[in-house]
Amino acid sequence: MPSSRPNHVSNRDGGAGESVSSVLPAGTYSLYITDNTDYSQQTLLSKDEISQLELNVGVGVNIKPYTTQKIEGRISIPESGESMPVSMGVAEFYEDNGAWKRKEFGIDEINDLNPNQPVWVVVHGRGDSENSDPMKELALNLGLNNLQVVTLDWSSAADDNISHIGLNGTKWINGAGIWTANQLKAAGFEGNNINIVGHSWGTYVGYAMAENIGQVNLIVALDPAKDSHLLGSTFDEASVRFSDVTNNSYAFHSSHFGNQDRALSADYSFKIKAPENYENGFWDTDIVRSYLRQEYLGILGAEVIDEVTDAYREHGFAVTLFSKLLKDTSDGSDNAIEDIFNPNSLSNQMPLTKRTDDFEGIFYVDPFESTMTEANGNTKPWWKVGSCSFLGYDGSGEINCEG
């Protein structure tokens, strides 16, 4: 038995479950379970009866060969007797007949994580997964810039099965972030080599990750979520300041579902604006139907539902805009936006004047309709950012460029 074997002591009681994911060196291990309950105040049981109490605890052990190509585990929270699966996998792609496809773990050859090189961690948000088109495209465009990329999949916890509008899944945010931080540290990464790109709730998972590590190099927060405790949110997003846990941080605010105050807590923040009626009357009927099922929205009428639908679509503009900026860089596009937002330069000071409590620049975007394949294989309309112009400030005047 290794003398420095991992040691975990749980202080949870009642029906609360707990899950622990650890990297174990080769060796022989023993699992001990003891009852630390204080029975000194018991008046109905004698000392002999207490000593004969049976400890009935369910324990599951799942041991897998360790590889940094794909790390799997589970997370748990004190208020729940359940645990949720999480995984972190290296994202590498290959071109097949003009289409980019992600390599599959266990089938394709994938590189191990290299802690001596910077890593970019892509984190999806509510109701999403690493396998949706927006997240795959984001990971791909990072990879095409010759960056080491991993994706975090916490989709079971982020799914929010209770209702379409409930925010019950926020209770798993800290657990997902801490689990990922522990895996990166176990793989040998220092904070200065860790960069995080998160969308919506994924920005807060990234914040929890950075806070646990102490400080990371970079966070790119894509429309950090505006959550409401009235709808069940248990995460205190008001305490989040991206600049506090990073060497440099960026945020893009694109919708009413995004939190402008959290975006402004980054070192550099940008507003995304789309023209009115860009969809020419288009309605995402599935989304509208799901929100109509909520009584307090159903009584507000079509105009409000249309605004909610717009916010849902625009919540993704931050993702597709940043993906576009990454693609422009990998394609070698010759424009000023590429120079400013090159991912290999984001650790440096930007040629923009920092503005207290205001955005450093505005992106004016021209969206277009595409088709998205979701993680479950279903397809639906997808509004993506096409061309854009950028208006920023460099201290001497405006920077205005097309991209």
Say what angle helices 317-331 and 133-143 make with each other, to 10 degrees.
Answer: 30
User: Rounded CA gap, 98 and 387, in Å?
Assistant: 22
Question: How does strand 93-96 pair with strand 99-102?
Answer: antiparallel
Contact 92, 104 (CB under 8 A): no
Q: Give the model confidence (pLDDT) of 167-179 as tens digits.
A: 567 889 999 999 9
Q: What's the pLDDT score for residue 296?
A: 37
Which pLDDT belongs to residue 193? Answer: 98
- Closest C-alpha among 204, 202, 153, 183 to residue 194: 183
Average model confidence (pLDDT) for the chain? 81
Give how far Cα 348 sits from Cα of 168, 201, 339, Å: 37, 26, 12
Which pLDDT belongs to residue 380? 85
pLDDT at 205: 97
d(CA 68, CA 47): 50
Q: What is the pLDDT of residue 79?
A: 65
Three-state DSSP at 234 gives coil
Dihedral angle at the C-alpha atoms of 202, 206, 212, 213, nearest 10 degrees?
150
CA 389 – CA 364 distance, rounded (Å):
5
**What is residue 288's three-state secondary structure?**
helix
Give Cβ neighbours of residue 35 (< 8 Å, ≥ 6 apart). 53, 55
* Rounded Cα distance, 148 and 169, in Å: 29
Q: Is 73 exposed, middle or buried (0-12, 13-18, 19+ CB in 10 A)?
A: buried
Bridge partners of 123?
A: 152, 198
Q: Return the bridge partners of 71, or none.
A: 88
**CA separation for the pair 184, 190 (Å, rounded):** 8
CA angle at 259 for the pair 257 and 263, rounded to the nearest 5°: 135
Q: What is the pLDDT of residue 331?
A: 87
Residue spans of the chain under pLDDT 50: 1-4, 161-166, 229-232, 281-305
φ and ψ at residue 120, rounded to 5 degrees: -110, 120
Q: How many residues does the chain have?
A: 403
Cα gap 142→138, rounded to integer Å: 6
Domains delineated in the chain: 47-402 (3.40.50.1820)
pLDDT score recorded for residue 228: 58
Closest of 305, 304, 339 to residue 325, by C-alpha: 339
The one-letter amino acid code at 119 reads V
Distance of CA 260 to the CA centre of its chain: 18
Rounded to 5 degrees, φ, ψ at 216 are -115, 170
Give the pLDDT score at 88.
97
Q: What is the pLDDT of residue 266?
A: 97
The answer to whether the beta carbons of residues 283 and 306 sit under 8 Å apart is yes
